[in-house]
Amino acid sequence: MQPKIETNPYAWVERSLETIRRAGWYREPEIIEGSPGAVVLKDGRKMLNFASNDYLGLAGDPRLIEAATKAINTFGTGATGSRLLSGHRILHQELETAIAQLKQTEAALVFSSGYLANIGTISAIVGQRDLILADQYNHSSLKNGAILSLAHINEYLHNNIADVKKQLQEHRHQYRRCLIVTDSVFSMDGDICQLPELLELADKYNCMVLVDEAHATGVFGATGAGCVEHYGCTGKPLIQIGTLSKALGSLGGYVAGSKAIIDFLRNRAPSWIYTTGLSPGDAAAALAAVQIIQTEPERRAQLWKNVTHMKNNLKENLPSEFQLLPSASPIICVQVPSIDILLRVKAQLLAAGIFVAAVRPPTVPTSRLRLTVMATHTKADCEKLASRFIGL
Ligand SMILES: Cc1ncc(COP(=O)(O)O)c(C=O)c1O
């Protein structure tokens, strides 16, 4: 059957929006006023903030603000060009050295966002003749990087090592290279990947491993280097990606790995080559943050204390139809029976002065409240949120 020709080529947009609204998937950004932190201003009201990825409370730290301000005064607001043309500054070099030192890798490369780091790296290192084995719950940037690479993509069941092994046994021999791709902390669930087991399989089946440490850097490991450090896998052959926008309180992304990989990406990753360098202010703030996470482990210790306190309180207070998803990180998800209930609970919490994220399909398979704990929350903050679930 011939498709009906419409006179307005944009008419489909309103229809699609209507479908999104009908499914309860329609979303709009909400304005947060003033400084970031455990308490934020929204609609002129103070709100307890359990919706941010600023796990260590560094985004409003005076030292980051001072570093960014100084860099802007010295270097201006923009990098003014791509890194290979006119956009390379000494700050980029210092930041890359600091990240490599934190991650204990030979080298690092800073991108303008974590999303760009993921799509640029994956699409540069594998191609049509290669296989990507990817966790089904991977972040959108990992999924889109895989699509962009044109490699054959096989998703494995979430965190299921037996499935990875089975797929390697069945398919690895048909491809030139194989890349195993996973988040280290799963951003919409809060659980963590089984990195040592993945590395063991990678070694056995001659695969590369790319791990996205977006929610782990600054949070996991004795020095804040992430899940790789937490698992004692520092120095193993793998490619680590991350963002400067979560625990590091700034903006930008990075790749850390061997000197050869970083050299290769500088010459082959389109989302690094053909985009403007990270702004001086963002680079300077991130550099200050990398230093703070290494010298102030007490922030991390406080964060983990808060995480434990929050989980214990939630376990006691959650109604039986609300399910606490397994989490090993400051990301705590409460699965609720429907989108309607999700939006009602979010509104009730807002009315009580608590700001949380409501996450629903198609971002995740089931509707859930995503609660993120910060080092700068107090015990009373965690108790206040948990107590609000009583009798819901
Ligand atoms: C797991 C993961 N990877 C990558 C990104 C992208 O990082 P960025 O915000 O720096 O683009 C995010 C979130 O934003 C994320 O949650």
CATH code for the part of the protein at 26-55+297-387:
3.90.1150.10
Summarize pLDDT for 137-186 with one digit per residue, the tens: 999 999 999 999 999 999 999 999 999 999 999 999 999 999 999 999 99
Q: Is the pLDDT of residue 335 over 80?
A: yes
Summarize pLDDT for 2-34 with one digit per residue, the tens: 777 788 999 999 999 999 999 888 999 999 999
User: Which residue reads 């290769």 in tokens?
Assistant: 264
Q: Which atom of ligand 1 lies closest to the CA of 183?
A: 1
**Mean local confidence (pLDDT), 96-114:** 98
What DSSP element (H or E) covers 49? Answer: strand 45-49
Q: Domain residue spans in the chain? A: 26-55+297-387, 62-295
User: From the CA of 19, how far away is ligand 1's center (Å)?
Assistant: 27
| Residue of 99, 245, 250 best suited for mutating to test ligand 1, as the one with most atoms within 8 Å of CB | 245
**Which amino acid residue places its CA nearest to atom 3 of ligand 1?**
214
52 lines ligand 1 (CB under 6 A): no
How does the average pLDDT of the chain come out, rounded? 96
User: From the CA of 255, how far away is ligand 1's center (Å)?
Assistant: 13
Contact 179, 208 (CB under 8 A): yes
The pLDDT assigned to 98 comes to 98
Which class does domain 62-295 fall in?
alpha beta
Q: Is the pLDDT of residue 195 over 90?
A: yes
139 lines ligand 1 (CB under 6 A): yes
What is the distance between the alpha carbons of residues 108 and 125, in angstroms, rounded to a whole number?
A: 16
Q: What is the pTM of this model?
A: 0.96
User: From the CA of 252, how far away is ligand 1's center (Å)?
Assistant: 9
* Residue 80 pLDDT class (50, 70, 90 cuts): very high
Of how many residues is the chain composed? 392
Nearest Cα neighbor of 149 from 131, 123, 172, 174 is: 123
What is the distance between the alpha carbons of residues 255 and 194, in angstroms, rounded to a whole number?
A: 20
The pLDDT assigned to 78 comes to 97
DSSP 300-366: HHHHHHHHHHHHHHHHHH--TTSEEPP-SSSEEEEE-S-HHHHHHHHHHHHHTTEE-EEE-TTTSSS
What percentage of the chain exceeds 70 in pLDDT? Answer: 100
User: From the CA of 189, how far away is ligand 1's center (Å)?
Assistant: 14
141 lines ligand 1 (CB under 6 A): yes
The pLDDT assigned to 2 comes to 75
120 lines ligand 1 (CB under 6 A): no
Contact 302, 377 (CB under 8 A): no
What DSSP element (H or E) covers 293? Answer: helix 280-295
**Which amino acid residue places its CA nearest to atom 8 of ligand 1?**
114
